[in-house]
Structure 1
Amino acid sequence: MKTKQYEGGCICGSIRFRATGEPGKPHTCSCESCRNHSGSLTLTWVEFPAQNVEWVGPGGSPSIWRSSSYSSRAFCSTCGSTIGAIDDEPTVALVTGIFDKPHLKEFAPTYHSYVSRRPRWWHVKSDHECSGKA
């Protein structure tokens, strides 16, 4: 059986990665750290064991900033793109928007962290509401 492989990287191409195996804990988060790190109301994440993530771009591994007692936020120091978080566990949590194929079914969130921190007007519309049908 072939091991699944996922690739992606920052907007300038300096930070590139290859992640192997099954992505874990696909979720969205609206905590203050995620909002400030990304400039977005919500981030979508998947996790991989650190040994399953290889930094293959010309910039090597991303720059990090210690954001909590157990984790560091990862970003490209050239273009500023959000890469994700590198936890002490060791886990690498990658934001799904940086994957070359971010639409894959295995990236679909199964839960939302810090729901209470999102604005009251923020909600996911059903397919029917998004289709433009009355």
Structure 2
Amino acid sequence: MTEGTTAPDLGTGRCQCGDITYEVQGVPDDPHLCSCEHCTLLSGSPAMAWVGFRRETLTWTGRRGEPTWYATWPTLRRGFCPRCGTHLVSVADGSNMVMVTTFSLTEQNRGLEPVGHSFRQHAVPWMAVTLAPDPLHS
């Protein structure tokens, strides 16, 4: 999170059609963009926006329960809505964090400006990104 912002204890999110909904608790961690091959192909855009939460705080609350899972790497699974295709989460084996797509969160004004850009060297040359100050190194 950026300096001077506070996050509510409970955050909610959903897919576009609303069949898959979730709740996350706690302070968001590591808001960042990613321009890896997987994120750009899955999103059809030059980067995806992610934010992390402790894995145990994620609860699937929608009528369909969990999303459909797809492995994009031997140790990485991504969750999608089987009805509308919205990409919601990414979970690495053995990680205590779950990465949530920032724009699937219901509240967009939570101080979630990206502080990093993974695979920046693979980003399209016309993409200019201004990152927020890293609160851990400010």
| TM-score, normalised via structure 1 length | 0.86
For 1:37 and 1:75, how far apart are their aligned partners in 2? 10
> Pairwise CA RMSD of aligned residues?
1.6
Q: Is structure 2 residue 44 aligned with structure 1 residue 36?
A: no
Residues 29-82 of structure 1 deviation map (CA, whole Å, 9 limit, x = unaligned): 100000111111111101112210000011101111111122101110010011
Distance 2:96 2:73 in 1: 14
- Other-structure match for 2:5: none
TM-score under structure 2 length normalisation: 0.83
8 Å CA contact retained: 1:37, 1:73? no
Following TM superposition, by how much is the alpha carbon of 1:124 offset from its aligned partner in structure 2, in angstroms?
Answer: 3.1
Question: What amino acid sits opposite 2:79 in the alignment?
Answer: A
Q: Which residue matches 2:105? A: 99
* Consecutive aligned runs of 4 or more in structure 1 exceeding 4 Å deviation: none
1:17 aligns to 2:17 (yes or no): no
Structure 1 residue 91, shift from structure 2 partner: 2.5
Which residue identity does 2:109 align to in structure 1?
H
Consecutive unaligned residues of structure 2, counting only runs of 5 or more, are: 1-7, 131-138
**84-93 or 13-22: which moved more?**
84-93
Instruction: Output one character per residue of 1:71-125: Cα deviation in whole Å (capped at 9) or x when no partner.
Output: 10111001001112122114211010111112311x1111101111111111137
Report the alpha carbon displacement of residue 13 of structure 1 after superposing the two structures with TM: 0.4
CA–CA separation in structure 1 for the residues paired with 2:14 and 2:117: 24
Number of aligned residues? 123
Give the Cα–Cα distance (whole angstroms) in 1 for the partners of residues 68 and 91 of structure 2.
10
CA contact (8 A) 1:29 1:112 kept: yes
| Structure 1 unmatched runs, 5+ | 126-134
Aligned residue number for residue 120 of structure 1: 125
More helix by percentage: 1
Partner SS for 2:114: coil
